[in-house]
């Protein structure tokens, strides 16, 4: 059958086209080579993709030994006020007023309550120390309120300082920690969570003035000047790969 006749007999059926193509030896040879090349290239690409996927999976699951170090910066605030005998006051420290450096998170808060009579026993042994009680009030400040290492209250009647502390960031102690992670990013992930340390720190102080019948060289009074010192510890975590 001539080529012109074949063209005249074409009825639009693509199966007819493929039958005609594969009826020719030359076409069959070229088609076989073409399909083989496609199969070979596809196999190479598949093997390369599988290898890359396997390498990525291995890298993602193989833990390495990292040391997490903390660059610490301390921010402070101070409040000084006079308490009257048997007076109770709650002093607010707004955490937004502490200018936390970029990239840092708040790790912990220390509070020191300093009575005016802290050196009274040295200056005048006859003057009795006032009784001071203080608490870090539990509120909506985002912190680790249930942490066992917290010290949220204290009291003293011997002219000593009262020390309290609150852990803010989960797991933070200020000391270096170890991490098993496949890369630096994942090693640092636990220390990049934002939102901790937001809110208001409330410090309650109660005063009970003590006195003696015999006046000493220092005049007695019925009030006390008290200083509240707040120290906010911020940190920036850095990861070092251990060889």
pLDDT tens digits, one per residue of 148-169: 999 999 999 888 999 999 999 9
Helix, strand or coil for residue 67? strand
Query: Do residues 128 and 104 make contact, with C-beta atoms less than 8 angstroms apart?
Result: no
Q: What is the mean pLDDT of residues 216-224?
A: 63
**How far apart are alpha carbons 56 and 150 in whole angstroms?**
42
171 Rama sector, left if φ>0, alpha if ψ -120 to 50, beta otherwise = left
pLDDT(235) > 80: yes
pLDDT tens digits, one per residue of 99-145: 999 999 999 999 999 988 655 554 555 557 889 999 999 999 999 99
pLDDT for position 156: 92
**How far apart are alpha carbons 227 and 84 in whole angstroms?**
14
CATH for 65-241, options being 2.60.120, 1.20.1300, 2.60.40, 2.30.30? 2.60.120
Please report where in the chains the tokens 């005609």 appear, as a residue: 20
C-alpha distances (whole Å) from 117 to each of 8, 87, 124, 128, 225 are 117, 17, 10, 9, 8
Enter the pTM of the model. 0.70
Higher pLDDT, 108 or 215: 108
Angle at 116 between CA 110 and CA 122, to 5 degrees: 110
Please report where in the chains the tokens 């990013």 appear, as a residue: 185
Higher pLDDT, 174 or 36: 174
pLDDT(207) > 80: yes
pLDDT for position 148: 95
Residue 222 DSSP one-character state: S
Confidence of residue 38 (pLDDT cuts 50, 70, 90): confident
**How far apart are alpha carbons 96 and 169 in whole angstroms?**
16
What is the H or E stretch that residue 21 is in? helix 14-22
pLDDT for position 64: 85
Closest CA to 89 of 222, 207, 231, 227: 207
Q: Can you list the positions of beta strands (E) in 87-222?
A: 88-94, 105-115, 131-136, 153-156, 162-167, 177-181, 200-208
pLDDT tens digits, one per residue of 61-100: 567 899 999 999 999 999 999 999 989 999 999 999 999 9
Token digits for 35? 């399909």
pLDDT for position 57: 47
C-alpha distances (whole Å) from 141 to each of 97, 109, 167, 195 are 14, 12, 11, 10
In Å, the largest CA–CA distance within the chain is 138
Q: How many helices (H) and strands (E) does the chain have?
A: 5, 9
pLDDT(171) > 90: yes
pLDDT(201) > 90: yes
Confidence of residue 54 (pLDDT cuts 50, 70, 90): very low
pLDDT for position 37: 73
């Amino acid at each position: 059958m001539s080529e012109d006749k074949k063209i005249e007999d074409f009825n639009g059926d693509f199966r007819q086209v493929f039958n005609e193509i594969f009826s020719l030896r030359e076409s069959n040879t070229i088609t076989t080579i073409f399909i083989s090349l496609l199969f070979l290239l596809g196999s190479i690409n598949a093997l390369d993709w599988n290898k890359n996927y396997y390498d990525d999976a291995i890298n993602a699951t193989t833990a390495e030994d990292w040391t997490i170090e903390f660059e610490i910066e301390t921010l402070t605030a101070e409040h000084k006020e006079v308490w009257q005998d048997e007076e109770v006051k709650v002093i607010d420290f707004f955490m937004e007023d502490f200018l936390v450096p970029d990239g840092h998170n708040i790790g912990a808060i220390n509070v020191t309550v300093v009575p005016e009579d802290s050196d009274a026993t040295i200056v005048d042994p006859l003057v009795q120390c006032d009784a001071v009680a203080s608490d870090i009030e539990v509120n909506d400040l985002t912190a680790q309120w249930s942490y066992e290492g917290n010290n949220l209250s204290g009291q003293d009647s011997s002219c000593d300082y009262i020390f309290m502390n609150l852990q803010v960031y989960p797991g933070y102690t200020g000391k270096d920690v170890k991490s098993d992670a496949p890369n630096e990013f994942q090693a640092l992930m636990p220390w990049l969570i934002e939102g901790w340390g937001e809110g208001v720190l409330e410090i309650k102080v109660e005063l009970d003035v003590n006195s003696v019948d015999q006046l000493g060289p220092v005049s007695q009074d019925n009030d006390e000047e008290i200083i509240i010192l707040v120290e906010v510890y911020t940190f920036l975590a850095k990861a070092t790969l251990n060889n």
